[in-house]
């Protein structure tokens, strides 16, 4: 129930931000639409810890800045590779087993790998991730387990 | 400074279009198309500032959503030969689960498309520091966009090109949006820019993953580096 209420709140805030009008009619219309949408989505069974993972929000405030830092670092590395006249790449495929248990955790891990330039998740399943890395250093970064541990902590939530 | 960012985006667009024409595989073209889409989103945002018309931001949000749906549709068509194909029985690839939410949001956004109360730039007493930070951010963003575009042309195979494109889509797009947010100050415009940034950060890995997976499924072998090939260096 709490999750339903928070879905409505998120939808409504999104409406207000995009509309930018604060007349009673439009605010009421926005609230009505938000409730209608959440009602339909609830019937579809999507208002669950996976569809609306609001319980992870406190943890995200710690994880996202770390991810942003990683993105900047690896983007800079890839930039140096691209601009280097020799184009020093060693494309590598690595497989490893992720330690997350929930779908949200696995998706977060897979997408974090893809988001950091230089590594792309090709296959992501509970048992194994297949990652393509631009350099061996990038591949070692992925299998090193730092991100894996952080996502596992993120997934457990607050 | 908006003009400089616009120029960088246009250069990147041109590089992506060259890659789209060169191909050689349909997945290279899809990747180039995806980068073109991201650049179009950024272009809409920057042009909105250039002309003082924040309505363009709403167009950018909608375009960002269409870009994701379009890329997935093209990939699905080339993988299964039919858009109505239910696909495989296994669970969907990472994070395509995000898109029902996003689509729902799109349908909410459209009724009030193009009405913003905030005005970028004008009317806000910006400090010199903010202006300089914004300028650096825009210039840096433009630089990383172009670098990604160059990489898209220089890299030897489909998978390595995707790494180049991800520089454009993360740091390039992020810094340009940050630069614009610094210009907007605490307004609805800044919130919309943040939404565009989130949209790119959530959808681009989904599209990238779908692309890589589709490439693998269609038997495009990744070129592996000297260490893998020669195996003497360890």
Q: How confident is the model at residue B121 (pLDDT cuts 50, 70, 90)?
A: very low
Tell me the chain B residues in contact with residue A136 when contact means C-beta distances shorter than 8 Å. 225, 227
In this complex, the residue of A90, A121, A135 whose CB is nearest that of residue B209 is A121
Q: How confident is the model at residue B120 (pLDDT cuts 50, 70, 90)?
A: very low
pLDDT in tens, B202-215: 888 888 888 888 88
Whether the CB-CB separation of A69 and A122 falls below 8 Å is answered with: no
In this complex, the residue of A76, A89, A114 whose CB is nearest that of residue B160 is A89
Q: Hey, how many other C-beta atoms are within 10 angstroms of the C-beta on B85?
A: 11
CA A69 – CA A116 distance, rounded (Å):
10
Q: Can you give the residue ranges of every domain in chain B?
A: 2-219
Output the pLDDT for position A36.
Answer: 93
Output the pLDDT for position B106.
Answer: 43
What angle separates helix B188-217 from helix B158-167, to the nearest 10 degrees?
A: 170
CA B224 – CA A94 distance, rounded (Å):
11
Closest CA to A129 of A117, A137, A118, A145: A145
pLDDT exceeding 70 applies to what percent of chain B? 75
CB contact under 8 A, B115 and A19: yes
CA B195 – CA A114 distance, rounded (Å):
20
Output the pLDDT for position A32.
Answer: 93
Tell me the chain B residues in contact with residue A123 when contact means C-beta distances shorter than 8 Å. 213, 216
Q: Can you give the residue ranges of every domain in chain A?
A: 2-43, 56-156
| Greatest CA separation for chain A | 63
DSSP for residue A118: T
* pLDDT at residue B233 greater than cutoff 70: no
* Per-chain mean pLDDT for chain B: 77
pLDDT exceeding 90 applies to what percent of chain B? 13
Three-state DSSP at B217 gives helix
**Cα R_g (chain A), whole angstroms:** 20
Rounded to the nearest 5 percent, the helix, strand and coil shares of chain B are: 75, 0, 25
Q: For every one of its 158 residues, what pLDDT tens digit does chain A have, with 9 covering 90 and above?
A: 788 888 899 889 988 888 878 889 999 999 999 999 999 988 888 787 777 777 888 888 888 888 899 899 889 989 988 888 888 888 888 888 888 888 888 888 898 999 988 899 988 888 888 888 888 888 888 888 788 888 888 888 75
pLDDT in tens, B60-105: 888 888 888 887 787 777 777 666 666 554 444 444 444 444 444 4
* pLDDT at residue B135 greater than cutoff 80: yes
* pLDDT at residue B116 greater than cutoff 70: no
DSSP for residue B54: T
Task: Tell me the nearest-neighbour CA distance from B205 into chain A, angstroms.
Answer: 6
CB contact under 8 A, A51 and B101: yes
Whether the CB-CB separation of B34 and B207 falls below 8 Å is answered with: yes
Tokens 């950060």 — which residue?
B201
| Residue B94 backbone phi and psi in degrees, to 5 | -45, 130
Output the pLDDT for position B126.
Answer: 55
* pLDDT at residue B113 greater than cutoff 50: no
Output the pLDDT for position A49.
Answer: 77
Q: How confident is the model at residue B226 (pLDDT cuts 50, 70, 90)?
A: low
pLDDT in tens, B12-71: 999 999 999 987 888 888 889 888 988 999 999 998 888 888 788 888 888 888 888 887
Residue of A nearest to B157 (CA): A91
Edge-first strand order for the sheet with A119-124 is: A92-96, A129-133, A119-124
Tell me the chain A residues in contact with residue B155 when contact means C-beta distances shorter than 8 Å. 82, 87, 89
Q: Is B122 left (phi over 0), alpha (psi -120 to 50) or beta?
A: beta
Burial of A60 (0-12, 13-18, 19+ CB in 10 A): middle
| B177, two tokens | 């949006």
Output the pLDDT for position B131.
Answer: 84
Tell me the chain A residues in contact with residue B217 when contact means C-beta distances shorter than 8 Å. none
Higher pLDDT, B226 or B228: B226
CA A24 – CA B10 distance, rounded (Å):
42
* pLDDT at residue B108 greater than cutoff 60: no
Q: Is the ipTM of this complex over 0.85?
A: no
């Amino acid at each position: 129930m709490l999750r339903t209420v928070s879905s409505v709140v998120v939808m409504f805030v999104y409406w207000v931000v995009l509309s930018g009008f604060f007349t009673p009619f439009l605010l009421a219309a926005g609230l009505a639409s938000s409730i209608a949408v959440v009602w339909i989505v609830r019937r579809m069974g999507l208002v669950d810890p996976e569809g609306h993972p609001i319980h992870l929000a406190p943890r995200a405030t710690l994880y996202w800045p770390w991810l942003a830092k990683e993105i900047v670092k690896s983007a800079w590395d890839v930039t140096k590779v691209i601009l280097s006249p020799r184009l020093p790449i060693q494309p590598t495929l690595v497989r490893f087993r992720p330690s997350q248990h929930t779908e949200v955790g696995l998706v977060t891990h897979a997408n974090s790998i893809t988001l950091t330039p230089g590594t792309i998740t090709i296959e992501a399943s509970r048992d194994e991730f297949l990652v393509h890395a631009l350099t061996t250093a990038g591949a070692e970064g992925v299998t090193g387990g730092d991100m894996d541990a952080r996502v596992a902590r993120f997934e457990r939530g607050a | 400074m908006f003009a400089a960012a616009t120029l960088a985006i246009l250069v990147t667009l041109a590089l992506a279009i060259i890659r789209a024409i060169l191909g050689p595989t349909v997945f290279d073209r899809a990747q180039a198309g995806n980068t073109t889409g991201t650049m179009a989103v950024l272009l809409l945002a920057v042009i909105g500032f250039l002309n003082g018309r924040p309505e363009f931001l709403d167009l950018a949000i909608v375009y960002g959503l269409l870009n994701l749906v379009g890329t997935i549709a093209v990939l699905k068509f080339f993988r299964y030969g039919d858009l109505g194909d239910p696909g495989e029985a296994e669970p969907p690839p990472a994070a395509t689960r995000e898109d029902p939410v996003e689509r729902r949001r799109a349908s909410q956004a459209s009724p009030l498309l193009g009405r913003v109360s905030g005005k970028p730039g004008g009317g806000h007493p910006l400090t010199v520091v903010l202006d300089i930070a914004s300028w650096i951010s825009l210039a840096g963003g433009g630089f990383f966009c172009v670098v990604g575009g160059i990489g898209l042309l220089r890299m030897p195979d489909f998978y390595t090109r995707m790494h180049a494109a991800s520089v454009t889509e993360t740091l390039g797009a992020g810094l340009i949006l940050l630069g614009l947010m610094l210009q907007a100050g605490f307004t609805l415009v800044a919130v919309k820019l943040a939404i565009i940034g989130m949209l790119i950060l959530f959808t681009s890995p989904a599209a990238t993953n779908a692309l890589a997976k589709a490439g693998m499924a269609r038997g495009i072998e990744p070129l592996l580096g000297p260490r893998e090939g020669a195996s003497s260096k360890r």
